Chains A and B, each alone.
Chain A
Amino acid sequence: MAGNYRAGKAAGAMIACFGAIALAGCAANDATAVKAPAAAGDSTAGGSTQAGQPDVNGDGKVVIGVLSPGDINDKGYYQSFVDEAEKFATSKGWTIIKRGSVNPNDALNAARALCQQKVDLVALAASELRDAIPASEEPVCADTAWYVPSMDNVQQTPKITISVDDANQSLLAAGYAAGLLMQEQGVAKAGFLTGPEVDFTTSAARAFKAGIRLVVPDATLVTTFTGDLNDSAKAKEAMQAQISQGVKVVYPYLGGAADAATELANANGVATLTPGTDRCGSTKPKFDISVLFSPGDYFAAALESFAEGKLQMGVKKVWQLGVDPFPTVKLCEDKPALKEKLDAFIADVGAKKIDTTAEVKRLGS
C-alpha cells in the first residue's frame, strides 16, 4: 500500500510539474510565425535566368533531382510528378535522380544531398518539403535551379521559381461536376474520402461541398478521414461505410489508396472522381470525373522552359482554372448537356465572374 501511495505521489508531482510549466507559458504562437509569402498573382518581374541552362553547373550533363514527400509509385498525385520528369528527361537524354517518401524533417538534408550530387535542377514535388528551400541559398547549391510548388505557403526568394494553384478553384469545380451527376441521378448525398484530418484535406472537403451545393443546394457531404492517404485497407473500409450510408458519388481524395477504394465504388455503382490526374481512359478502376491538378502537369511546363534556357528564378507562376490548360475538370462519359454546363462554369471562374473563395466560404461550411 505504501508503495502505491508513493507511486501516486510521484505521478501527482509529475503532473503538477507539467502543469506549472504549461501555466508559465506566455508567448503567443504567432510570435514565431514566418514572414508572409508573396502576394497572389503571377510575378514575372525581377526574375533571372541562370547562364547555361539547362546545364546550369556546366559539367557537361543535365541532371534533374526530384524530391517527393509521398509515395512515387502511388499511381496518382505524387507519381505524376516523377513520371513527367522521367518522361521529359528521357526524351532529352538527361539523368534523373528521384527520391520518394522524403520526411519533411529531412527535406533540407535531402536537398543538400542532391546538390552535392551536382544536379542542375532541384524539383520539390509538393510544398510539404518547403523547408528544403534554405539550401538554395547555400554554396553547395549555388549552381542549381529550383522548382517549388506552393499552396500560397512558400515565401518567394530570388533562387527559386514557384508554381501555385488555388485548390479552391479545382475542388469547387470538382464539386460542381459531381453536383451535375447527382442532379442527373436525383440524389443529394455525396461522399468525400481522404487521409489525415489536416488543413489541406479539410479545406478540400469544404470546397468540394460548396461546389456540389452550387448545383444541389440541399446536398449533404459525408466526409471520412482514414488518417492515411496510402492505406488501402482503411480506404476500402471507409468507402464501404460511405456506400452503406447511401452515397452515390464519392471523391476518393487519396494517394496510393485511391485505386482500391475506387474499385470498391465501381463494384457498387458509385461514381468517383480522380485525385489530380486524367484517368478517363482507365477501365480498372473506372472514374467518372477527372479532376486535373497534378503537379506533374505544372512541372512539365517548367521543364519545357528549363530545356529552352528560359526558366526564371525569383518568379511565381499561378495556374488558373479556365485560363490555363491546368487545373481543369472533365467528365469521362459523353454527356454533352452536363459538359456544356461544366465548361461554362470553368469559363466563368477563369473570367473571375465567380469568386471561388467567397463561394467556398458561403456554401462549404
Chain B
Amino acid sequence: MPKSPARTKANPARELVFGDLWEYDPAPETADPKLKPRYDLFINGSFVPPRAGKYFATINPAHETKIADIALADASDVDAACKSAHKAFTNVWGKMPGKERGKYLYRIARLLQDHAREFAIAETLDGGKPIKESRDFDIPMAAAHFFYHAGWADKLEHLAPGRQIAPHGVVGQVIPWNFPLLMLAWKIAPALAVGNCVVLKPAETTSITALKFGEICQEAGLPNGVVTIVSGAGETGAAVIQHPLTTKVAFTGSTEVGKSIMRSLAGTDKKLTMELGGKAANIVFDDAPLDQAVEGIVNGIFFNQGHVCCAGSRLLVQESIAEIVLAKLKRRIAVLRVGDPMDKNTDLGAINSRKQLTKITELVKSGVAEGAEKYDTGCKLPAKGFFFRPTIFTNVSMSHRIAREEIFGPVLSILTFRTPEEAVEKANNTPYGLSAGVWTDKGSRILQMSTLLKAGVVWANTYNKFDPTSPFGGYKESGFGREGGKQGLLDYLSVG
C-alpha cells in the first residue's frame, strides 16, 4: 500500500469543496397546522372576543405575510380573566385532590403529543424557528414538562417536609417569543401541579400556539378558568401582573423589562419569579475535543437564531488553540443553511420580528464601529422576511457592547484567555449570570470551573441542554427563582 504523505502545515489535508454543484432540493413541511383566521381570548374555558373588539395581525416573519388576527385584551378583559381564574381556584382547582389535578396534566401532555406536528408547524409559521427545532425540541419538551409535573401533583408534601405549603391562588405569567409553547409549558405545568390557576399573556408576535393550547385545555376537559390565555402587547401584560388577584407573578423576558416589573410591583406583596437575560461564556480549553466543541459552539449561539436567553454568546477560547478553533468554526458555519424555516433542512430560520432584526443589526454595527472584526459567510438570504447571517466577531474586548449586551441573535463574540483564572474572571465579569459552558477533557476541571462560575446552569462538553427535572434560572441580573425540578415547584407555593 502506498504510504500517504505526512500531513504538515505545508501539506494540509485537502478539503472537498462542492460549491454550488449540488443544491439541496426543497424539503418543505406540509402538514396542516389547523389555524383559524382569527383567535379570540381563552377565558373561563371558552374563546371570547375582546370587549373592545380590537385585534392585531400576527405575521409569518419568514414571508412578512399575515397569518391570523389575534385578540387584543385590554384591562377589562384581563379583569374578567383574573376573576374567572380566581373563581376556578376557589371553587374547583384549589380544592381538588392532587391526584386528580395530576391526571389533568397527564391528559394535557398526551394531547400535546397527539397534536405535536400541528403545533410544531404553527410554532414555526408564527415565530420563524426552523421546523426541525420546533418538531424535535420545542413541542416534545413542552409535553415532557407536563408529564414531569403531572406526577408531582400528589406528592407535594415531599417538597417542604415539616412545613405548611399552599398554592398562591392565581398566578400571572408573561412569557417571551423565543420558545412560545415551551415557555408556556415551563410556566403553566408547575403552577397547575401545585394547585394554582394561571392567567398567561403570550408574547405579542407569537400568540398562536398559546391560544391553540386553549383548545388542548378544552379537549382535556380542564375545568373552566384553570388556564386563561390573554393575548396582547405590553399593556396587556402589565394589566395581568398588576391585577390584585394575581398574587404571584412569573416573568420570562429581558432584564430591562424585568426590572420595570419589579419596580411596578414594589408597593405590593406579590411573590415574584424572574427569568431574565444572559450573556453566557462558552469556555473552550486546549484539551477539549475540538470537533465536538465546535458543534457545541454552533449549537450554543445559532440554535433558534440565537434567540435564547442562555445562548453561548461569548466564546472564550484558550489562546493556544484560538486559531484552529476559529478555522474550524468558519468551516462549520459555511455549511449552515439559512432560509425557509419550514424547510426540514434549514438550520437558521427567520429572525422573530423586524424590531429584533433592527436591534441585532444595530449591535453588530456597534461591534464594527468599536473595532471588533466581523465575519459572516456571505450566504444568500431570502428576498423577503427577516433574516440574519450567522456572524462571528474576533478581536473583541471585554468593554465592547457586543461582549456586554445581550444581542439575542446569531452573533458570536470571540475572546481569548490564557489561564483558567483569566477565563473565570472574564466569564463572571458581567451583570448577568444565567448559564455557562465548559469544554475540556478533564472531569476535575469541569467541577472546578462549575464551582467558580457565577451562573445558574453550567453545561460541560454540551450546551443548550434542557430537561424538566433540571432546575433552570439565573444568578445576579439574570433573575431569581428556578424553573424545573423540585426547586422550581417550590417557587409556586407559599411555605408557612
Q: Are A and B associated in one complex?
A: no
B residues contacting A by CB (< 8 A) are none
